[in-house]
Amino acid sequence: MLEVALGVAFALSVGVSLWLYRKMSALKNLQYRESLERVESQEAYENLLFSVERERESIASTMENLQNHVVYLQEENRLKVRETSDLMNQITEITSASEEKSQEIKKQKSRAASAHTTKGQILEKWCPFLEHPEIDPDWEAKNWSFMGNPIDYIIFDWRNDKTINLADGKVVLLDVKSGKSQLTTKQRRIRDLIQAGKVEWRTIRLE
C-alpha cells in the first residue's frame, strides 16, 4: 500500500510540477509578449517622432527656400522698377531734347524762309542791273517797269524808228524766281496766253 501511495504522491507531484511549469511558462510568455509589444510600441513611437522630425525639417527647408525666393523676387522687382524709372527719365530727356530740336528746326526754317524771301526781293529789285542769259544786254533799266504781282516786270524794249521798232523791238513779261521756286498757276496761265500770241492792245478814252 505504501508503494502505491508513494507512486500516487509522486505522480501528483509530477503533475503539479508540470502544471506549475506550464503556468510559469505561460506567464513568462505573457510577460515576454507584453515586453515585446512595449518595445514595438516604443520603436513605432520613435519612428513616428523621427518621421515627424524629418517632415518638420523638410517643411523648414521648403519655407527657407520660399523666403529666399521671395527676397530674390523682391530684389528683382526693385531692379525692374529702378530700370523702368531710368527708362522713363531717358524717354523724358529724349522727348524734351526732340522738342527743343523741333523748335530749333522751325526757327531755322523760318529764318531760311525769311532769308530766301529777302534774297528774292533783293534780286527782284536789282534784276534790271544783273547779267543773266535770259536778260538781253540791250535792255535799258529805264524801260523796266516793276509790277510785282502777278508778274514782276514788264520790259518795253522799243525803238524810236517805227520800222526798226517793229523788226527788233518787243514787249517782255518777266518774272524773277530765286532757288527752286516755281511759277504759280496764275503765272503759268499768263505765260501760256502770251506764248500762244493771245495779246492785244486797247485804248480807253474816259471823259
pLDDT of the residue at 32: 62
Nearest-angstrom CA–CA distance, 95 and 31: 94
Per residue of the chain (207 residues), give pLDDT as tens. Answer: 545 555 555 565 656 566 666 767 777 677 667 666 666 666 665 676 677 677 777 777 777 777 777 677 778 777 888 888 888 888 888 887 777 777 777 766 666 555 455 555 666 677 888 888 888 888 888 999 888 889 889 999 999 999 999 999 999 999 988 777 889 999 999 999 999 999 999 999 998
Nearest-angstrom CA–CA distance, 24 and 162: 173
pLDDT of the residue at 61: 79
Indicate the pTM of the whole model.
0.43
DSSP the chain: -HHHHHHHHHHHHHHHHHHHHHHHHHHHHHHHHHHHHHHHHHHHHHHHHHHHHHHHHHHHHHHHHHHHHHHHHHHHHHHHHHHHHHHHHHHHHHHHHHHHHHHHHHHHHHHHHHHHHHHHHHHHHHGGGS--TTS-TT--GGGEEE--SS-SEEEEE--SSHHHHHHH-EEEEE----TT----HHHHHHHHHHHTT----------
